[in-house]
Structure 1
Amino acid sequence: MASETDNLLVSLKDVRFAYGEREILRGIDLTVPRGKVVAIMGGSGCGKTTLLRLIGGQLRASGGTVDVDGREIASLSTADLYALRRRMGMLFQFGALFTDMSVFDNVAFPLREHTDLPFGLIRDMVLMKLNAVGLRGAAELKPAELSGGMARRVALARAIALDPMLIMYDEPFAGLDPISLGVIGQLIRKLNDALGATTIMVTHDIMESLLIVDYIYFVSEGRVVAQGTPDELRASDDPFVYQFIHAEPDGPVPFHYPAGPLADSLIGGVGA
């Protein structure tokens, strides 16, 4: 019987990271089981996107270990790291499509870059991916001709072009209208299950995430401060979780950046 460890696709243990003197992560412990959709949430600048970059190998942790599919990222050679990355899909903030390429060529790009498949097979695979996100009929359009929601779906089709074992999303709902947001959320869930993949999603969108994810980590000041299933977090009385889920301005996460009294800064004040 497979152990619990064997069922983990991603495991971070006591991970630390800093940009120069600025410490971003201060000892992160996080696990992602195979086949699950896991969200990482927290305020802006708390290190969420940095975690994706560590998992993808674009950055190296200054302490702790990052394991993906049983392999420690820091110990991989360049060739082995690139091979592992080919088994990952990434949807960047706002899609990051190539603006001078058609929808078809955007989705075909990773297939042409990383495989030697003949054109006919690439064509069929691209059309199947576009069909999965409802945009086969838009194959010849350019990104400028798409709505924001359509562009995000094309980016999703590109992220799954190589049938990755791990799909990572950086703010997949940013800038979308409510209808597009709901469509993208359901696509993330359905494609993960249909592909037998594993998903890590960095997002601020609480309500949509609670509908589609299996587990959530809340990150603040470089640490995991809360975690649980959607039902556990909805019922939580933890001050950080409550503030984040209910969008309260007052709580553990301050609205105001630290400063002295306002009166002291105004004309005639002590600090003027």
Structure 2
Amino acid sequence: MPDHDSLVRIKDLSFSYDERPVLDGINMEIPRGKVVAIMGGSGCGKTTLLRLIGGQLKPTRGDVLVDGRAVNRMGHEELYALRRRMGMLFQFGALFTDISVFENVAYQMREHTDLPEELIRDLTLLKLNAVGLRGAHARMPGELSGGQARRVALARSIALDPMLMMYDEPFTGLDPISLGVIGQLIRKLNDALGATSIMVTHDIHESLQIVDYIYFMSAGRVVAQGTPDEIRASTDPFVHQFVNAEADGPVPFHYPAPPYGEELLRGAAHG
């Protein structure tokens, strides 16, 4: 979906932990106003990629550009200013458990703005209303269901009207109703805010209903990409295996091992 007005550009990006390569020559474009999914098996580098975009990590090679500026070349002040324009929904919400729903959502406004308390109150209730939980503002996180807690975390992540939203496995552990609610909220809030969203997820079926474009990763590389319709129709073996949840394919079911018959005969000979 290359778009000349991309909010995020990832150019020839590689990253290693010590000597262990995690990402190898990644190129991506995330156009403004779109919802883009990054998919792939566990350990393929998806969450690492989010950390590189947010500036928590620096690439071994290549650049991450957000709004035309290289995140990996920023100093602390510039990086923190940019992060205030980003929102992040963590895998399990990561709410502060010892303060109320209201205080969780208001926290960023108090931390990063000089807004008067009356306006913070109105904006906090507005964000909670957007996710359907204004009536739960006085509750503690421990009193919420898993889906409700994820929605509060989503309200907190949009508290400062970010230009870029990042979601790290937003559907993990949710029942089908909550999963559908969160999926639709991600789409509606992105469009209402005029934001851009990057979503790391394993949930192929929910994602195909709400995203504009998908990148598939395997072993630190982009191995396939396309619109939801292109992904559904893809004959690429990796995409076909992932979309259809097949046990065997390019990602093998069996861990590498000698032929089973040989191993049995070897055991018998030793016996």
**TM-score w.r.t. length of structure 2:** 0.96
Distance in 2, matches of 1:53 and 1:266, equals 49
Residues 87-166 of structure 1: pairs in structure 2 closer than 5 A:
87-166=85-164
Deviations 1:211-233 (A, max 9, x none): 00000000001000000000001
Q: Tell me which residue corresponds to 1:197.
A: 195
Counterpart secondary structure, 1:137: helix
1:140 is paired with a residue whose SS is coil
Quick one: distance in 1 between partners of 2:161 and 2:36? 18
Residue aligning to 1:268:
267
Alpha-carbon distance in structure 1 between the residues aligned to 2:265 and 2:141? 48
Going from structure 1 to structure 2, the CA distance change for 1:137 and 1:240 (only over 3 Å counts) comes to same
After the TM superposition, which residues 67-106 of structure 1 pair with which residues of structure 2 at under 5 Å, given as runs? 67-106=65-104
Q: Percent identity?
A: 73
- CA-to-partner distance for each residue in 1:225-256, whole Å, 9 max, x for gaps? 00000000101100011000000111111223
What is the CA-CA distance between 1:94 and the residue it aligns to?
A: 0.7
Give the deviation of 1:269 after TM superposition: 5.1
| TM-score (structure 1 length as normaliser) | 0.95
CA distance in 2, matches of 1:188, 1:271: 59
The 1:21/1:100 distance shift into structure 2, 3 A limit, reads same
CA distance in 2, matches of 1:204, 1:43: 7
Conserved? CA contact 1:265–1:271, under 8 Å: no
| Distance in structure 2 (CA, Å) of the matches to 1:179 and 1:120 | 34
* Aligned: 1:221 with 2:219: yes
Deviation per CA, 1:162-191, whole angstroms, max 9, x where unpaired?
Answer: 000000000000000000000000000000
CA distance in 2: counterparts of 1:211 and 1:270, whole angstroms: 56
Instruction: Report the count of equivalent residues.
Output: 269
- 1:135-186, CA deviations, whole angstroms, 9 ceiling, x for partnerless residues? 0000011111000000000000000000000000000000000000000000
> Can you list the C-alpha shifts for 1:87-140, whole angstroms capped at 9, x where unaligned?
000000110111111100111111111111111111111000000000000001
Question: Match for residue 20 of structure 1?
Answer: 18
> Alignment partner for residue 169 of structure 1, among 148, 167, 170?
167
CA–CA distance in 2 between the matches of 1:56 and 1:86? Answer: 10
